[in-house]
A and B are shown apart, each in its own frame.
Chain A
Amino acid sequence: MLLVRKLKLHFGSICVATVLVLGCCLWQANYSLASGRIASGSSLPGLVIGSIAGAIILFELLLWPRKRLRRWKLFPTKYWMVAHIWLGLATGPLAFIHSGYRFGGTFSSILMFLLIFVLISGLYGWAMQIVIPKWMLGNLPFETIACQIDDVSVQAALNARRMLTVAYGPKPEGLRKLANLDAASAQMSGLVTVRKGRKEVKAIVVGAVQRRETSRSRIEINTDDEFHSDDGHELWKQYAAVIEPFMLSGVAQLAEDTNARRSQEKTPLKSRQNTEVWFSLLRSTCSATARPIVDSLEELTVQRHQYDSQRRAHAWLHGWIAIHASASVALGVLLLTHIVLAFKYM
């Protein structure tokens, strides 16, 4: 149903683009046959087709001002984007027909190559926009706002500390020093009340709860349980040395901390498989009462892994825009120059 709706959305623009290209191609072919030579860009059909292609390129560039003026709600974005894609794709063949199937001199060749580059970068971006979000939806349940990954990671670390503090008391002396998260800590809320059956208990919520896989993302710790101090020492030790440095890896405000950086580089939690093995070992060294704590720490680590994946996916998703936009701007300027020079030396 979604596919049908999407096709319906694209159908109009596809039809317009196809009719435009075929119509222009036939007109140019007819004119060429009549005149005995392939109609060049300065011929009547060449000029008209070139003008159409130029107008479409200028329309494509209007996407930027439209974005700046989105509060005016000029035109529904989905229609605009569909037109942007299909009319934009039509400019390639239209420009080629306009030029009489030639690349011409240096300038016109540069213009043509630039147009091809813009089209290819746009197609790449379109493919990314289709593939990556779908992949993220299926594979990154902890997805958050990309620019907030650092903040959320810091808060996750603070939550983990709080969890350990509540369960085992403050970090014992002599263990590795933790990163300074005071500024972020001041903004944190306290414990939350969690309903467990008919009973309400104090609990710490780690990470955002999502509808998918809620059982994995929500960790509840009953404060009435008894915790062994030996477990506390071991968990604090591993948390300070391995878990927290990994959770805070790449956090900008901690980049200067060389100890943290060294720990991040040598972390045994680099891959998902390693993480699983490592936490199994940790779990085996602790008593049964510490299992929920270890589980929640593992969950936080997995969350961090997902943030890293999200960051990479985000780069694939949005990295092309800078190249596409800069090439498009250059194309727009050179197109205006081409128009002026073409009329001058036609």
Chain B
Amino acid sequence: MQENGRQRAAKIDRSYHAAFDPFVYRKRWMSVLGLVVALAYSAWMFSETGALHVTTGDLSQPHYAWNQTGCEQCHVPNVPIRKDAWRGDDAKNIAINNQKCNGQCHAVTGHFEHLTRPEILSTQSCSTCHREHLGFNRSLVDVADSECARCHANLAEAALHPKGQKPVSNFSKHGDGHPEFASLKSDPGTIRFSHVQHMRPGQPKSLDGADAKQPEMIPAKFRDRYRRVSADNLIQLSCSDCHARDVPLQGYDGLERLQGDANNASALAVQSTAHKLYLPIEFEKHCAACHDLDGIPHGLNRDQTNRSIQSLIPAKLLEYLKDRNPKLAPNSLAQNAMTKEYQEEIEGHELRLKAVLSDDSACLKCHQTGDNPASIVAPSNLKKKWFQDASFTHGSHLMVGCRECHATPYAETGDVFDVSLPGNQKSSDEASHVMIPGIEKCRECHIQSPKERSQLFSKEKPVASADCVDCHRYHSDAPRQAPSKRLSETTLSETKWLPFFARERLP
């Protein structure tokens, strides 16, 4: 007889479902454990230190101290700060967030508020361009080109006065994404100066070199400075003899004398962003060795020059008398000075000195006459900074040498100014010729396409990025308040526990 259900059931304890089941027990307690751990972690995250786990990454160097001081330093609770967040482009929210940056710590002007339409400006939050939480080393001014192009590619909509404004969409050499540099259209300077002549050995005016200078022909005090000579013992100038760096860079001496080796990628290591421009030329330092003003100081107006001449006459006369009679006692000078012969001598000296003012061999050799009767010459109008809407850092370009970009002074043929120069300029045009290359020269190294850049880099060509922020800045340098806690007060140990994927390490 087969075992029936009742018999089979008799073998099983009827209350088996109520019996202890280790799997149910484990499930229950593990769930409680998960609940407790998650609740504890959540509660901790609402604390000041726990809030660090919410962040998507370390703050950048200027804001780094606030990693320790809570999110409310920048974030207004329940007000979206990201532009792409839901309600993030709401003008009211943008104003609240911008007030946090611009009202409490920063005092920057709006983004070209005199050039930009107010309705466009009101939709621009600081965080749109300045992306935070991307690590300690992330630069806040490293703004994506697309952020700039949002408005600049279509200035008709964004600019207050769009007429005449050229749109900018990219820096690529293909197409018309960036206009030619407007600042280089003309040179407003009035100085007659030939770079070509001064870079020739001996600085002769004519090509035959008849008036070439040797070191012995300049005053002794300048000889050490111009000790470099050519094979013919003629003074050989280099760019750095006249153009001094705004920040002296130790160990980078003589780079201005490089022949220009833009293809030498290994030289790319020689660069410093500290040195931006070259200092203005000073007559006493850079010109006086050859251009003697006979003791009259440089840079005076007409009255000051006349007074200077008057004050110089007794000294000149004394020199004259000493030359004539070296044994003459000093107290006899005054008596001798009263004689007619010496009166005539004085007048002759005065006339010679005054001739300096109108002679082509003195002031007007370099300067032009101006309209202002108080001044002897017209203002020189030398530009200290050529790019008005951009910044150029010479220190970042030291490796290529001056000649790579400023080739004009090195012309070796022609009268004074080489006829083979661009535009076939004549010598008379040289002073007004802008010796800064245009956008095409920049594009030789600054390649926008990462792919193209990578290809050139693999061929060991010097390449650089071509981002908008490489050259352009948009906010004026307004004074800033110090942050509540300085970076130096934040120790590395305070942030060491942050996991690798949440932050960049301090350098």
Contact = CB atoms under 8 A, between A and B. Distances in A.
A208 B2 CA distance: 10
B88 interface: yes
A144 interface: yes
A85 B48 CA distance: 38
Contact of B502 (A109, A145, A152, A194): A109
Contacts of B144: 37
B31 A333 contact: no
A341 B39 CA distance: 14
A325 B86 contact: no
Contacts of B29: 322
Given A148-B16, A194-B1, A346-B81, A330 B23 contact: no
A321 interface: yes
Given A42-B86, A346-B82, A322 B53 contact: no
Contacts of A262: none
Contact of A148 (B1, B13, B82): B13
Interface in B39-54: 39, 41-42, 45, 52-54
Given A105-B502, A106-B502, A330-B34, A195 B1 contact: yes
B459 interface: no
Nearest to A335: B38
A124 interface: no
B16 A36 contact: no
Contact of A337 (B37, B45, B71): B45
Nearest to A333: B38
Given A209-B3, A326-B34, A155 B82 contact: no
B422 interface: no
A145 B16 contact: yes
Contacts of A44: 86
Contacts of A110: 53
B55 interface: yes
B77 interface: yes
A322 B19 contact: no
B35 interface: yes
Given A192-B7, A333-B39, A47 B56 contact: no
B3 A218 contact: yes
Interface residues of B, number: 53
Contacts of B82: 40, 42, 346
Contacts of A205: 3, 7
A344 B11 CA distance: 61
Contact of A327 (B7, B23, B34, B86): B34
Contacts of B484: none
What is the size category of the interface that chain A forms with chain B? Answer: 35 or more
A218 B1 CA distance: 10
B401 interface: no
Contacts, number: 151
Interface string A71-110: 0000000000000000000000000000000111111111
Residue among A110, A208, A346 having the largest count of chain B Cβ atoms under 10 Å: A346
Given A145-B16, A148-B12, A319-B23, A105 B54 contact: yes
Given A194-B1, A325-B27, A330 B12 contact: no
Say what secondary structure dominates the interface of chain A: helix
Given A42-B88, A103-B501, A326-B31, A341 B12 contact: no
Nearest to B79: A346
Contacts of B150: 36
Residue among A148, A192, A337 having the largest count of chain B Cβ atoms under 10 Å: A337
A195 B3 CA distance: 11
Contact of B30 (A102, A323, A331, A337): A323
A192 B8 CA distance: 12
A40 B16 contact: no
A151 interface: yes
Contacts of B210: none
B42 A337 contact: yes
A329 B35 contact: yes
Contacts of A334: 38, 41-42
B119 interface: no
A258 interface: no
B33 interface: yes
Contacts of A151: 11-13, 16
A325 B499 contact: no
Contacts of B77: 344-345
Contacts of A103: 501
B57 interface: yes
A157 to B, nearest CB: 12
A345 B71 contact: yes
A332 B20 CA distance: 28
Contacts of B81: 345-346
Contacts of B12: 144-145, 148, 151-152
A329 B86 contact: no
A4 interface: no
Contacts of B33: 326
B34 A105 contact: no
Interface in A172-194: 189, 192-194
Contacts of A345: 54, 71, 75, 77, 81
Nearest to A220: B1
Interface in B69-92: 71, 75, 77-78, 80-82, 84-86, 88
A275 to B, nearest CB: 23
B498 interface: yes
B97 to A, nearest CB: 11
A37 B131 CA distance: 13
A261 to B, nearest CB: 20
B312 to A, nearest CB: 69
B11 A341 contact: no
A202 to B, nearest CB: 11
Contact of B85 (A108, A325, A337, A346): A346
Interface in B450-507: 498-499, 501-502
A43 B84 contact: yes
A273 interface: no
Interface in B3-19: 3, 7-8, 10-13, 16, 19
Contacts of A336: 42
A326 B30 contact: yes
Contact of B37 (A37, A47, A318, A330): A330
B71 A105 contact: no
Interface in A11-36: 35-36
5 nearest A-B residue pairs (beta carbon): A326-B34, A333-B38, A42-B85, A326-B30, A330-B38
Given A106-B52, A208-B3, A344-B78, 18 more contacts: A42-B86, A43-B85, A105-B57, A106-B501, A107-B54, A145-B12, A152-B11, A205-B3, A218-B3, A322-B23, A325-B34, A326-B31, A327-B34, A330-B34, A330-B38, A333-B34, A333-B39, A343-B78
16 contacts: A35-B84, A103-B501, A106-B52, A106-B498, A106-B501, A193-B1, A195-B1, A208-B3, A208-B11, A218-B3, A322-B29, A326-B31, A328-B34, A346-B81, A346-B86, A346-B88
Interface of B: 1-3, 7-8, 10-13, 16, 19-21, 23, 26-27, 29-31, 33-35, 37-39, 41-42, 45, 52-57, 71, 75, 77-78, 80-82, 84-86, 88, 133, 144, 146, 150, 498-499, 501-502
